[in-house]
A and B are shown apart, each in its own frame.
Chain A
């Protein structure tokens, strides 16, 4: 028996007579099964080449255990550094009204003239005051809806108040306007330019795919109006200040390559292939819009292969893969509130509803729209910052939303890259903590992470350059054809 000490890791079998080991800090290594068996029985020779790899990647230590633990701890702290900022993302729902009626709308948007669903200026100012109580030096304020353009005066009041507070407190605030763009005016875009507000919009694919779900209140497609306003937004703001997100439905699932082509054609700087969330209208219409998560994983990975090929000609990252590759290949925190442990709900991002109610996640607010206010943390009109952010409710939610302490995630090889979603758990089972095995969340993330590992194993130099160009956002890393 050799005298080395095993350091903490998780493992899974790949099905190819290999075992994938992932360390506490997210470093990974593939070992032949026979070598793995010898390694865990302390029978691997310390002169073996695999032993050197294992030791250098901190899967084991010789006499220098203390040094190895300190190194692992430093990497672990870096990986969890998103906790240092506490709540950085603050989403303001300035109205539930919308000029569109998209088939998968997760918040069951209200009629365009339903003014009782507007946030008033006093509530917006109170929300901004609360945002600036957060310890983060870099608060990001996202204006959401409904369609935030329909309550424009409150958006501008919130931006101006936030800028004033940022200057007084020497913080760097950033703004994102989440809009379908179809109602935007030149004046509104000029305000965005003057106040450095980035626009995030939605594009589901070419005309037929976009119009399949993204419709106006009369049921007509919005592609044409969207394209017209996209051009205007780019003209006023510049192309790099307008980004788009897509939502995959059963209509687009088998046409993801066409969606990618449309994004390239429209000059988008990348794509985030997002699965459908089962809330609001999407939940009501799930039979027609939904799909099995296994199928989503299959189609996502096919599309990713296509995007990698595309990147041999043009820089065009897929954002979700970029996030996961970054977690797999670097020790840095990526700060994606939807996939963190502890969950980012409340401590990474928080949402202020039109009436001042505060929720730990957009999905929790959507749940409230569906009639269940289980996750409501308080209200900016009646509760203090401490009541909401240091209260029992958020504390309990966060304590229960750690992969490291919940089964089977505590034993999962992909723990270092994954996260939890207590709101989704609650929606699907009535409990914030659930057995994640066979859940759509687990099927999706496990399937995609396994697919990415498979891609890394097969990757040639060009593919690795492409992946690193995504992680570092440096298009020049790839010598293109």
Chain B
């Protein structure tokens, strides 16, 4: 695959191809949901190794490549955040536990 995203010929939708080796199911759904407030978004399998996120314009305005680039960057950042969450999520729980421990005692 040369580029991980492409605008359709009529310009009314765009496709982002997310490699399963890089992006988790949760990440793909989270980023799709992030853009679902403004666009119609569908998620479909694309071969063995990819997932296709299709973004449809709601008001007939063209979907631009810049927008697809943003979705791609959102995927990367979201996956990093999810990986980091796995790394320090338990510490976050401990911070909250310590923070409210005096309240629990009283």
Contact = CB atoms under 8 A, between A and B. Distances in A.
Contact of A411 (B35, B78, B95, B100): B78
Give chain B's interface secondary structure class: helix
User: Which of B36, B87, B95 gathers the greatest number of chain A CB atoms within 10 Å?
Assistant: B95
29 contacts: A5-B88, A5-B91, A6-B84, A6-B87, A8-B89, A8-B92, A9-B84, A10-B81, A13-B73, A24-B95, A40-B84, A69-B98, A72-B95, A73-B94, A73-B95, A73-B98, A73-B99, A76-B96, A76-B99, A77-B99, A77-B100, A80-B99, A84-B103, A407-B30, A408-B33, A435-B34, A437-B33, A437-B37, A437-B38
Contacts of A84: 103
A435 B37 contact: yes
A69 B96 CA distance: 10
Interface in B1-40: 30, 33-38
Interface string B72-106: 01000110110010011101101111111011000
User: Which of B37, B73, B80, B97 gathers the greatest number of chain A CB atoms within 10 Å?
Assistant: B37
A7 interface: yes
B88 A74 contact: no
B104 to A, nearest CB: 12
Contacts of B96: 73, 76
Nearest to A6: B88
A309 to B, nearest CB: 34
Contact of A40 (B36, B80, B97, B100): B80
A438 B38 contact: yes
B80 A408 contact: no
Contacts of A12: 77
By Cβ-Cβ distance, the 4 closest A-B pairs, closest first, are A73-B98, A438-B37, A77-B99, A8-B92
A439 interface: yes
Contacts of B37: 435, 437-439
Contacts, number: 66
Contacts of A48: none
A1 B94 CA distance: 25
Given A76-B99, A437-B34, 19 more contacts: A5-B88, A8-B89, A11-B77, A11-B81, A13-B73, A13-B77, A24-B95, A69-B94, A69-B95, A72-B95, A76-B95, A77-B102, A407-B30, A408-B30, A411-B78, A435-B34, A437-B33, A437-B38, A438-B37
A70 interface: yes
Nearest to B93: A8
Contacts of B99: 73-74, 76-77, 80
Contacts of B77: 11-13
Nearest to B80: A40
Interface of B: 30, 33-38, 73, 77-78, 80-81, 84, 87-89, 91-92, 94-100, 102-103
Nearest to A79: B99
User: Which of A40, A437, A439 gathers the greatest number of chain B CB atoms within 10 Å?
Assistant: A437
A69 B84 CA distance: 17
A19 B38 CA distance: 26
B91 A435 contact: no
B59 to A, nearest CB: 13
Contacts of A438: 37-38
A241 B91 CA distance: 46
Nearest to B31: A408
Interface string A155-166: 000000000000
Nearest to A23: B95
A8 B94 CA distance: 11
A407 B87 contact: no
A69 B88 CA distance: 11
A437 B84 contact: no
A408 B29 CA distance: 11
B84 A70 contact: no
Interface string A403-427: 0000110010000000000000000
A11 B96 CA distance: 20
